[in-house]
Chains A and B, each alone.
Chain A
């Protein structure tokens, strides 16, 4: 009787899990493994079947200047976006955490970009960057700076996207800092003030170290975002001019659905997965650490 119940529970457990497991295997695990396998085969074309090519796709990737360029772009994009948006997020949280007139409105303003779709945001920003009639050029001409094709110039196109991404993300990261700040007991600050510590000193020696886990969490998430969110490229530049503003995932999209070279797209995906995997391990270690803190 007892064994029966155990067996029942066992079968039941798997039955409850089954529907989710099937879908997850089909759309998460199979594509990871299948993509890896595809990266060792050629793309089937014009009736020719796919055949095993060993590391040929990887050799082609290493010889592909566009691959290195999008990787470099992605790196620059992350380096440009993350430090600024994280610092701004912290600043926003510090401000919103204090009492002043109109605090709720200010907080809403900071957070609103988070709720908007990237495509909508890009539609609006596209107009800011438009040469001559765009808002940015209008402001420039007011100060006597000549007009500029911000998105058409390889040296500024990526920077334009960095600015947009900072604007979009800072408010999202703010809420995590805000939650962490609210978790810091006000007694700390009172004690420090009675001791005569300045606010800056208190921030540097107490607040910042206490916020360290949040900072790490936010940084890892910001990095993941910079690799997986490429929607704005579709509107702003389509990766151009000359791939100057293309990112890895956008390049994968182009290779897979523009050139229909699925084997090469799979090879590029493997690189993306390795990057995301490395970030995942970083985050996992962080979670472990946080458990120790508690």
Chain B
């Protein structure tokens, strides 16, 4: 018995879904079009128009993209490394140790989930300046390293590890550190992957704090470089801006298209706390 076949209504809905998808993809597709065509073709959609890499060459020449890439790469890896270390340790403490002030400490951690360092730029600038870290890559990453979100996710993961596994290891005389390394971390691998993806995409794309704390091309990450490059004052035409923009987003975008499922699941996990 067919309750509902492929009716007109279904087809209409699929068409609407496709139309919206086209609208949603259009800006990026348009940037790709502009990046690979000479400026005259920016609003002339001639499929036979000449394809060129000149825009990428000029973009590469106008702004120190290679340097920006290195900076972003350093920033993202340094921040993630710091986060993984600090959050693992803190999450372990919350999941498996009893100590006075634990409840209060955990509530204080939760404060950061609601009030992220992104909005505390005024005081954090002063602190970073006191530490002498203005215009350095560690200075960009430091406020994010003790990540409440990371601690929260890992604590959840560690709490799901059966206590018997830990006790078995302890009976064999394993230290707390080796219990963490041999039991907890391996079992929390999916959480680490999810957190890592979210953290990398976040810091690859982050802008406000980096623009506050950097003031030279030696430290500026891609987003900040891109904002200078794309500003109307730079006098670069749209084709070249598109090329630069495509350059800057392509590593993350390609990674996303290749590992879409992992990305979407990680983002989902990050929201459903």
Interface residues of chain A, those whose CB is within 8 Å of chain B, are: 9-14, 16-17, 19-24, 26-32, 34-35, 38, 88, 91-92, 95-96, 98, 100-102, 105-106, 108-128, 130, 133, 135, 138, 167, 170-172, 175-176, 179, 193-194, 217, 221, 224, 227-228, 230-231, 234-235, 249, 252-253, 256-257, 262, 265-266, 269, 272-273, 276-277, 279-280, 283, 287
A171 touches B98 (CB 8 A): no
Contact A124 B124 (CB under 8 A): no
Give chain B residues whose Cβ lies under 8 Å from the Cβ of A276. 114-115, 119
Most interface-central of B86, B109, B114 (chain A CB within 10 A): B114
Q: Is B27 an interface residue (CB 8 A)?
A: yes
Q: 10 A–B contact pairs at CB < 8 A? A: A20-B146, A27-B127, A38-B122, A95-B20, A111-B264, A128-B27, A249-B119, A257-B121, A269-B120, A272-B119
Is the pair B28, A119 in contact by a Cβ cutoff of 8 Å?
Answer: no
Please give me the residue from chain B that is nearest to A126 by CB atom: B230
Within 8 A of A (CB), among B121-145: 121-127, 142-143, 145
Q: What is the CB-to-nearest-CB distance from A90 to chain B, in angstroms, rounded to a whole number?
A: 13
B94 touches A17 (CB 8 A): yes
Q: Which of B46-54, B159-167, B188-196, B204-212 contacts A (4 or more CB under 8 A)?
A: B204-212
Question: B99 within 8 Å of A by Cβ?
Answer: yes
Residues from chain B with Cβ under 8 Å of A123 in the complex: 226, 230, 241-242, 244-245
Describe A's contact surface by its main secondary structure: helix
Residue numbers in A under 8 Å from B227 (CB-CB): 119, 234-235
In the complex, what's the smallest C-beta–C-beta distance from B163 to chain A, in angstroms?
Answer: 14
Q: Are B99 and A10 in contact (CB under 8 A)?
A: yes
- A residues less than 8 Å from B94 (CB atoms): 17
CB-CB contacts below 8 Å: B1-56 with A: 3-4, 10, 13-14, 16-18, 20-22, 24-25, 27-28, 30-31, 34, 42-43
In the complex, what's the smallest C-beta–C-beta distance from A50 to chain B, in angstroms?
12
Task: Kindly state the separation between the CA atoms of A110 and B206 in the bound complex, as whole angstroms.
Answer: 21
Residue numbers in A under 8 Å from B201 (CB-CB): 115
Known: A23-B145, A27-B146, A100-B17. A113 touches B99 (CB 8 A): no
Whether B75 is near chain A, meaning CB under 8 Å from some CB there, is no
B17–A256 CB distance below 8 A: no
How many B residues have CB within 8 A of the partner chain?
95
| Residues of A with C-beta under 8 A to B87 | 20
B81 at the binding interface (Cβ < 8 Å): no
Q: CA–CA, A34 to B244, complex, Å? A: 40
Those 3 A-B pairs whose CB atoms lie nearest each other, nearest first: A13-B97, A31-B123, A13-B99
> B98, A269: Cβ atoms under 8 Å?
no
Nearest-neighbor residue (CB-CB) of B94 within chain A: A17
Cβ of A30 and Cβ of B176 under 8 Å apart?
no
Question: CB-nearest residue of chain B relative to A256?
Answer: B122
With the chains together, A82 CA to B256 CA distance in Å?
25
- Contact, CB under 8 Å: A9 / B230: no
A110/B99 contact (C-beta < 8 A), A20-B146, A35-B122 known: no
Given A13-B98, A112-B28 in contact, is the A176-B263 Cβ separation under 8 Å? Answer: no
Of the residues B97, B123, B267, contact of A266 by C-beta under 8 Å: B123
CB contacts under 8 Å to A, within B184-236, are 201, 204-208, 211-212, 222-224, 226-227, 230-232
Chain B residues 83-125 with CB under 8 Å of chain A are 85-87, 89-90, 92-94, 97-100, 102, 105, 108-109, 111-125
Please report the C-alpha to C-alpha distance between residue A10 and residue B201 in the assembled complex, in whole angstroms. 36
CB distance from A261 to the nearest CB of B (A): 10
Selected from A221, A231, A262, A272, the residue in CB contact (under 8 A) with B271 is A221
Given contacts A16-B92, A17-B90, A283-B114, whether A117 and B264 have CB atoms under 8 Å apart is no
CB pair B14–A100 under 8 Å, yes or no, is: yes
Tell me if B174 counts as interface (CB < 8 A to partner A): no
Q: Are A230 and B208 in contact (CB under 8 A)?
A: yes
A19 touches B86 (CB 8 A): yes
Which residues does chain B contribute within 8 Å of A16, judged by CB atoms?
Answer: 89-90, 92-93, 97
- Pick the residue among B20, B30, B127, B151 that contacts A31 (CB under 8 A): B127
Q: Which of A20, A22, A121, A230 contacts B151 (CB 8 A)?
A: A20
Contact between B30 and A135 (Cβ–Cβ < 8 Å)?
yes
Q: Is the CB of B245 within 8 A of A124?
A: yes
- Chain B residues lying within 8 Å of A172, measured Cβ to Cβ, are 267
Compute how far the CA of A11 lies from the CA of B109 in the bound complex, rounded to whole angstroms: 19
Q: Are A26 and B127 in contact (CB under 8 A)?
A: yes
Taking A105-B21, A231-B208 as contacts, is the C-beta distance between A29 and B89 under 8 angstroms?
Answer: no
The reply on B62 being an interface residue by CB < 8 A is no
Whether B205 and A118, one on each chain, are in contact in the complex, defined by CB atoms closer than 8 angstroms, is yes
**Cβ of B226: which chain A residues have Cβ within 8 Å of it?**
117, 119-120, 123
